[in-house]
């Protein structure tokens, strides 16, 4: 029997627990009771048969007259008394319909008092005490009407109305008209005056009649008033003005616009500081401080921090960087102090007394410092491209600043993505020269190696740049040219990557010791070991090519591409120059360290060829005893090891040919098993031309020399009678030189005032220089044009290189492609252009580099030659 009883007590206690529960119970009781016939003593005006309509509670009548409450005694008298007192009180409390203007607000306190404060007379005091007292009889009569609570009436009827009609317009006007701080000051002033006027009668007179001196009621009234202010003020303008004010004061107090070593006048700072605290204090007094203002302040301070970092540190990249320390110091000693100071005035002391501490902890300061460092990092990330682009030892500071920033994963990501974006926007454009890109890439390598020695960041930012550089055709050329560049070049030739030569000079170009790197992680005794950064990709291995030269050399997919280019440039330099090849030898040695000996074997042979040639040359000269003006020096090349050479063939002048024969004979004696094959187009000639009035001495190429030799009047071998005049056609046929080369040489000599064009395609020796050469040369337009063409020709002649260019190679390859096309069409029958291209793309090893248009042009040539014909089914071989 125990159990149910326990259950019963439980349930009863739980239902009694809540009021709602009670009400529900009552309703249930009624429903329940309604089903049964009512008890006899209940008044039931309606038949029991209609319970659906609902019923009144037990013991209550349905309709009829309500029983009036017992009327107080002397009700009429009381009522009159109440009304009279009410009237007196309200008329005392009512406010005059008068605008509170800015001018009023600025009046002295006494003037204000005289104007707005009404005298509080004794009878008023009586009436008020009657109205306010809770026991007064009149209140009961007025129960439920507005007119029973004097304070409520005062606030709603008097204060609200007055504020809306006579204060708010002034405030709005202040905020609208004066966008400077006066507007804010005036607003605060007006609101303060209004608050003083409104609260005066309550505080000074009425509160004394209230229980506990009306502390609760006054607080209530104050809060209502403040919320009235807060909700009525035009928020946007007000916020703007306050934040503007705070910004100005804060920047003055914290001296953010001044140079580091300069300080503002302390008087100005302290006045700004006072102004701020005063305004904040007043805002708190009129209830406009609060959390909103605090937030506003926080926003302003965050902006100030941004501004400080931007103004003080932008573009200051000097190394070693003290900026992070400066920033920390500033935040700790000035920034957070100012915050503490201001917040003390903003925060409501009453609210703080609870669980809410208004003191700023040291933790907050640390947080701000971190934020400052982050903002500094963001600034540096934005500047990073410029830092790198203008890289020098002085700008290392910026990178040092960033070191603090890149400790966290997401900032690292931010950095790389921002930098890559800047790269693709500012650097990887068709407008940027390859040299420029390479220079910046070198700077990037240096900068990022300082920033992140592990190389993860470099790996990420270098990728797009490397990909882009691989697409540029001249990259290899410039890199190799840079390695071999002559640092003594004066003036520096544009487009040459001297930095690379410098780097080679300084670092010796030695790669980092790769073996040590490889076993990095296995060295358990390494006490300096650090884990890879968090954002390192899986299986990340520090790139071996973090040194500048290594990075550039490894740009190319295969070292073969690099070495082929190196061979070409080396070959060119070896053939062109006469000086010692120390530099070349050194670069070759360095490359050997990197690539190993075997791939560079032909370079080695090339260098040795040149060295051997000198010895052989000296020997032959000794044996043959060449005359003074008959010096023929040869470079003997091992054809197999040299890159393919230009072998334009033409007739050399007879004396040279005889020299060649003598030379070859000697050589045959020296090296019996070998035979010399001359390359007439490669070589330099020192030409000395004797004219009637002058001697011209030029260092020229062999073909240029051969052409001018044909004009030699003293030579008996020249076929046409007046040797001093030659036409392009005769030259082409007598020298068996290609026409373009002949023309090129002719224009060269014209530019040297050795030849002159006497008729179209006919040139004559300029035996005596006209006295006004320059004038006459420029006076006739024809000659001016000729000279322009000549200078073009000279540059093009200079550009014509000993080693076959890429384009020539392509032309050669085209011959192979032609064989493919031939075989294809022969065996597979006629084919359309597209199909030919498609087949070529699939069949040609290494791919077919041309498109439909190039092939069409090429095939058109073959059609013209009669080797192809175009039919309905496409191209067809003519047998």
Least CB distance from residue 817 to other proteins, whole Å?
8
Residue span binding other proteins (CB under 8 A) among the ranges 200-208, 503-511, 736-744, 813-821: 813-821
Please pick, from the candidates 820, 856, 858, 862, the single residue that binds other proteins as defined by CB under 8 A: 820
Whether the CB-CB separation of 501 and 439 falls below 8 Å is answered with no
- Residue 562 CA to residue 192 CA, distance in Å, equals 82
> Could you give the CA distance from residue 457 to residue 406 in angstroms, rounded to a whole number?
9
867 lies in the binding site for other proteins (CB under 8 A): no
Q: Closer CB to other proteins, residue 515 or residue 879? A: 879
103 binds other proteins per the rule CB under 8 A: no
Q: Which of 303, 242, 323 is nearest to 276 (CA)?
A: 242
Distance, in Å, from the CA atom of 637 to the CA atom of 605, rounded to the nearest integer, reads 9
Q: Which of 353, 352, 356, 358 is nearest to 339 (CA)?
A: 358
Binding of other proteins by 816 (CB under 8 A): yes
CB of 819 to other proteins, least distance (A): 4
Give min distance, CB of 558 to other proteins, in A.
Answer: 20
| Segment interacting with other proteins, rule: CB under 8 A, options 87-95, 251-259, 559-567, 815-823 | 815-823
Lay out the site mask for other proteins across 836-855 (x = CB under 8 A, - = otherwise): ---x--xx-x----------
CB of 840 to other proteins, least distance (A): 9
Strands ordered across the beta sheet of 725-727: 725-727, 762-765, 755-759
CB closer to other proteins, 164 vs 843: 843
Looking at beta carbons only, is 211 or 861 nearer to other proteins?
861
Q: Pick the binder of other proteins from 11, 22, 638, 826 (CB under 8 A).
A: 826
Q: Is 828 in the site for other proteins (CB under 8 A)?
A: yes
In this structure, are residues 664 and 676 in contact, taking their beta carbons and an 8 Å threshold? yes
Token digits of residue 350: 């009453």
Contacts of 53 (CB under 8 A, 6+ apart): 46
Q: How far is the CB of 827 from other proteins (least distance, A)?
A: 4
Contact 373, 335 (CB under 8 A): no
What would the two tokens of residue 212 be? Answer: 């506990």
Interaction between residue 644 and other proteins (CB under 8 A): no
Is 811 one of the binding residues for other proteins (CB under 8 A)? no
Q: Does 215 bind other proteins (CB under 8 A)?
A: no
Identify the residue among 668, 823, 857, 860 touching other proteins (CB under 8 A): 823
Which of the ranges 325-333, 431-439, 584-592, 817-825 carries the binding residues for other proteins, by CB under 8 A?
A: 817-825
C-alpha span between 675 and 668 (Å, rounded) = 7
- Choose one: 85-93, 373-381, 596-604, 819-827; the region binding other proteins (CB under 8 A): 819-827
Nearer to other proteins, 410 or 640 (CB): 640
- C-alpha 190/C-alpha 551 separation (Å) is 71
Please state the closest distance from residue 638 (CB atom) to other proteins, in A: 23
> Which residue, 781 or 827, is less far from other proteins as judged by CB?
827
Q: Is 878 in the site for other proteins (CB under 8 A)?
A: no
Gap between the terminal Cα atoms of the chain: 123
The answer to the question of residue 132 lying near other proteins (CB under 8 A) is: no
Beta carbon of residue 850, minimum distance to other proteins (angstroms, whole number): 16
Compute the least distance from the CB of residue 829 to other proteins, in Å: 6
Specify the 3-state DSSP secondary structure of 868. strand
Q: Of the two residues 413 and 820, which places its CB atom closer to other proteins in the complex?
A: 820
Does residue 814 touch other proteins according to CB under 8 A?
no
Give the integer Cα–Cα distance in Å for 471 and 320: 38
Contacts of 795 (CB under 8 A, 6+ apart): none
The answer to whether the CB of 463 falls within 8 A of the CB of 566 is no
By the rule CB under 8 A, 212 interacts with other proteins: no
Kindly state whether residue 819 participates in binding other proteins, applying the rule CB under 8 A: yes
Q: Tell me the closest approach of the beta carbon of residue 845 to other proteins, in angstroms.
A: 6
Q: Does 829 bind other proteins (CB under 8 A)?
A: yes
Tell me the C-alpha to C-alpha distance, in Å, between residue 127 and each of 11, 157, 641.
54, 19, 124
Instruction: Confirm or reject binding of residue 827 to other proteins (CB under 8 A).
Output: yes
If DSSP states are collapsed to H, E and C, what string results for 128-156?
A: HHHHHCCCCHHHHHCCCCHHHCHHHHHHH
- Nearer residue to other proteins within complex by CB, 222 or 876: 876
Rounded distance between C-alpha atoms, residue 830 and residue 5, angstroms: 110
| Closest distance to other proteins from the beta carbon of 645 (Å) | 20
Residues 436-455 that bind other proteins (CB under 8 A): none
Nearer to other proteins, 73 or 819 (CB): 819
Pick 74 or 828: Cβ nearer other proteins:
828
Per CB under 8 A, does 143 bind other proteins? no
d(CA 251, CA 455): 40
Closest CA to 380 of 403, 411, 402: 402
What is the DSSP track for 389-413?
A: HT--GGGHHHHHHHHHHTTSHHHHH
The answer to whether 279 touches 270, Cβ cutoff 8 Å, is: no
Contact (CB, 8 A) for 445 and 553: no
Nearest distance from residue 822's CB to other proteins, in Å? 7
Closer to other proteins by CB, 492 or 851: give it: 851
- Would the CA dihedral through 75, 81, 85, 88 be positive or negative? positive
Scanning 472-533, the segments in alpha helix (DSSP H) are 475-483, 498-507, 514-518
In the complex, what is the shortest distance from the CB of residue 826 to other proteins, in angstroms, rounded to a whole number? Answer: 5
DSSP 585-641: HHHHHHHHHHH-SGGGHHHHHHHHHHHHHHHHHHHHHHHHT--TT---------GGG
Residue 878 CB, nearest approach to other proteins (Å): 12
Closer to other proteins by CB, 17 or 843: give it: 843
Select 322 or 862, whichever has its Cβ closest to other proteins. Answer: 862
Residue 558 makes contact with other proteins by CB under 8 A: no
Task: Choose the binding region for other proteins from 186-194, 550-558, 826-834, 849-857 (rule: CB under 8 A).
Answer: 826-834
Q: Is 835 in the site for other proteins (CB under 8 A)?
A: no
**Minimum gap (Å) between residue 869 Cβ and other proteins:** 12
275, exposed or middle or buried, with CB in 10 Å at 0-12, 13-18, 19+?
Answer: middle
Q: How far is the CB of 848 from other proteins (least distance, A)?
A: 11
Question: Residues touching other proteins: how many (CB under 8 A)?
Answer: 16
Closest approach, Cβ 862 to other proteins, in A, equals 14
Contact residues for other proteins (CB under 8 A)?
A: 816, 819-820, 822-824, 826-830, 839, 842-843, 845, 879
């Amino acid at each position: 029997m125990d159990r149910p009883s326990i259950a019963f007590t439980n349930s009863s206690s739980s239902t009694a627990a809540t009021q709602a529960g009670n009400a529900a119970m009552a309703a249930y009781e009624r429903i329940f009771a309604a089903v049964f016939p009512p008890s006899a003593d209940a008044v039931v005006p309606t038949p029991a048969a209609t319970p659906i309509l609902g019923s009144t509670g037990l013991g209550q009548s349905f309709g009829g007259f309500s029983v009036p409450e017992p009327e107080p005694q002397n009700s009429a008298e009381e009522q009159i008394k109440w009304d009279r007192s009410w009237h007196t009180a309200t008329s005392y409390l009512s406010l005059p319909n008068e605008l509170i203007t800015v001018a009023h607000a600025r009046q002295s306190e006494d003037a204000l008092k005289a104007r707005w404060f009404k005298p509080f007379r004794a009878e008023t005091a009586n009436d008020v005490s009657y109205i306010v007292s809770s026991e007064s009889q009149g209140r009961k009569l007025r129960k439920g009407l507005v007119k029973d609570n004097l304070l409520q009436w005062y606030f709603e009827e008097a204060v609200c109305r007055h504020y809306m009609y006579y204060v708010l317009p002034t405030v709005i006007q202040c905020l609208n008209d004066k966008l400077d701080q006066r507007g804010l000051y005036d607003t605060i002033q007006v609101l303060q005056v209004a608050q003083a006027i409104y609260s005066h009668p309550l505080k000074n007179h009425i509160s004394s009649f209230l229980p506990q001196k009306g502390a609760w009621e006054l607080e209530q009234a104050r809060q209502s008033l403040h919320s009235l202010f807060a909700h009525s003020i035009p928020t946007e303008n007000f916020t703007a003005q306050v934040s503007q004010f705070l910004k100005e004061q804060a920047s003055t107090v914290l001296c953010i616009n001044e140079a580091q070593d300069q300080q503002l006048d302390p008087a100005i700072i302290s006045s700004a500081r006072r102004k701020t605290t005063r305004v904040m204090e007043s805002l708190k007094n009129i209830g406009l401080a609060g959390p909103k203002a605090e937030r506003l302040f926080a926003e302003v301070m965050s902006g100030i921090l941004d501004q400080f970092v931007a103004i003080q540190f932008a573009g200051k990249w000097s190394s070693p960087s003290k900026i992070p320390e400066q920033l920390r110091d500033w935040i700790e000693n000035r920034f957070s102090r100012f915050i503490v100071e201001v917040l003390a005035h903003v925060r409501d002391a009453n609210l703080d007394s609870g669980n809410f501490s208004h003191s700023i902890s040291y933790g907050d300061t640390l947080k701000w410092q971190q934020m400052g460092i982050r903002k500094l990092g963001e600034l540096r990330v934005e500047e990073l491209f410029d830092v790198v682009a203008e890289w020098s030892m002085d700008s290392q500071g910026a990178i040092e600043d960033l070191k603090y920033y890149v400790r966290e994963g997401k900032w690292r990501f931010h950095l790389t993505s921002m930098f890559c974006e800047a790269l693709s926007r500012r650097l990887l454009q068709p407008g940027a020269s390859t040299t420029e890109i390479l220079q910046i890439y070198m700077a990037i390598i240096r900068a990022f190696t300082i920033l992140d020695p592990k190389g993860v960041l470099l790996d990420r930012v270098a990728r797009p740049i490397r990909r882009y550089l691989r697409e540029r055709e001249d990259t290899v050329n410039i890199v190799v040219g840079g390695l071999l560049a002559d640092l003594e070049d004066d003036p520096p030739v544009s487009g040459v990557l001297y930095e690379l030569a410098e780097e080679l000079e300084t670092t010796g170009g030695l790669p980092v010791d790769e073996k040590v790197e490889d076993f990095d992680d296995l060295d358990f005794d390494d006490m300096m070991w650090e884990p890879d950064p968090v954002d390192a990709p899986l299986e990340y291995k520090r790139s071996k090519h973090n040194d500048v030269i290594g990075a550039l050399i490894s740009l190319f997919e295969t070292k073969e591409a690099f070495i082929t280019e190196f061979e070409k440039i080396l070959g060119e330099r070896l053939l062109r120059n006469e000086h010692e090849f120390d530099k070349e030898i050194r670069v070759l040695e360095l490359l050997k360290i990197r690539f190993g000996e075997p791939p560079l074997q032909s370079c080695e042979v090339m260098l040795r060829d040149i060295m051997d040639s000198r010895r052989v040359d000296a020997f032959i000269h000794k044996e043959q005893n060449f005359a003074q003006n008959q010096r023929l020096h040869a470079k003997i090349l091992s054809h197999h090891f040299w890159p393919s050479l230009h072998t334009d063939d033409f007739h050399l002048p007879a004396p040279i040919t005889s020299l060649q024969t003598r030379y070859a004979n000697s050589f045959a004696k020296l090296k019996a098993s070998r035979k010399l094959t001359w390359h007439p187009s490669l070589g330099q000639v020192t030409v000395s031309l004797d004219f009637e009035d002058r001697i011209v001495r030029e260092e020229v190429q062999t073909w240029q020399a051969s052409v001018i030799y044909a004009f030699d009047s003293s030579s008996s071998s020249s076929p046409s009678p007046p040797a001093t005049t030659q036409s392009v056609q005769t030259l082409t046929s007598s020298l068996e030189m290609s026409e373009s080369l002949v023309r090129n040489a002719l224009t060269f000599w014209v530019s040297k005032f050795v030849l002159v064009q006497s008729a179209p395609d006919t040139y004559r020796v300029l035996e005596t220089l006209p006295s006004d050469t320059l004038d006459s040369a420029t006076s006739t337009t024809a000659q001016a044009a000729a000279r322009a063409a000549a200078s073009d020709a000279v540059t093009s002649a200079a550009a014509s290189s000993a080693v076959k260019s890429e384009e020539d190679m392509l032309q050669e390859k085209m011959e192979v492609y032609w064989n493919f096309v031939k075989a294809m069409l022969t065996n597979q029958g006629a084919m359309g252009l597209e199909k030919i291209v498609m087949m070529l793309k699939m069949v040609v090893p290494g791919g077919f580099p041309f498109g439909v248009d190039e092939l069409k042009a090429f095939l058109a040539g073959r059609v013209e030659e009669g080797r192809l014909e175009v039919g309905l089914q496409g191209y067809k071989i003519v047998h």
